[in-house]
Amino acid sequence: MYFGNYSILSSLPGEKKIWEKTGEVLELLPTLPLGRTDIIPGVMYVNKEEYSSKDPALLRPEVHHRFIDVQTVLQNMELVRCYLPKDLAVDTPYDEAKDLGFYKAGAVACQSGILDPGHIAVIPPYEAHASQMWVFEGETLPIVKAVIKVAVNSVMENWV
């Protein structure tokens, strides 16, 4: 996981034009509606949602193969964690059509960070991750979050 402010996009490997477009989209997020917004069909889209942060012990790590996640929150803050897939037990096998698979909850994370407005987590394909977690135990916050999904093949062939 790459973690930092929006400026980290300029240091990511791969096609710079895609990362520049991602930066432009980050600036537009407050104006986008909730739900899915296609930015570049087949290459980039945004999922924007509202929810309450949750107990980390209840959240299952997920994995994607075809898309890179660029996650940020627009309201409040949440914890995001990454895991080594070799340390996880499969809960729901990877579904290529959905580009999504789940592991069982309860594993120890290898990396974590706090997402708040102005910061992003860039999660490469095949890296298991879980978010929507409360930062302080028992403190449930209303979250507005956006995930920009970037097709791996638009950045480079084997971006991991």
Q: What is the pLDDT of residues 115-129, one digit of tens each?
A: 999 999 999 999 999
Average pLDDT of the chain is: 94
Cβ 62 vs Cβ 102: under 8 Å? yes
Q: What phi and psi, each to the nearest 5 degrees, are found at residue 124?
A: -65, 160
CATH of 2-155, picked from 2.60.120.370, 3.30.110.40, 3.30.365.10, 3.30.160.620, is 2.60.120.370
> For residue 121, what are the CA distances in angstroms to 5, 12, 91, 96?
9, 12, 24, 23
Domain spans of the chain, in order of start:
2-155
Q: Averaged over 93-117, what is the pLDDT?
A: 94
- What is the structure's pLDDT at 160? 54
- The Cα 15–Cα 35 span in angstroms is 27
pLDDT 10s digits, 46-71: 999 999 999 999 999 999 999 999 99
Q: What are phi and psi of 117, to 5 degrees?
A: -55, 135
Structure letter (DSSP) for residue 54: B
What is the reported pLDDT for 135? 94
pLDDT recorded at residue 108: 87
44: left (phi over 0), alpha (psi -120 to 50) or beta: beta
pLDDT one-digit tens code per residue, 71-100: 999 999 999 999 988 889 999 999 999 999
3-state helix, strand, coil in the chain (%, to 5): 20, 45, 35
Cα→Cα distances 112→14, 26, 131, Å: 24, 21, 10
Distance CA(129)–CA(120), nearest Å, equals 14
Residue 158 confidence (pLDDT) above 70? no
Whether residue 159 has pLDDT greater than 60:
no
Residue 15 or 142, more confident: 142
The closest of 48, 75, 66, 63 to 107, measured between CA atoms, is: 63
Q: How far apart are alpha carbons 105 and 31 in whole angstroms?
A: 34
Residue 65 half-sphere exposure toward CB, CA atoms < 13 A:
11
Residue that the structure tokens 């989209």 belong to: 25
**Local confidence band at 107 (pLDDT 50, 70, 90 cut-offs):** confident
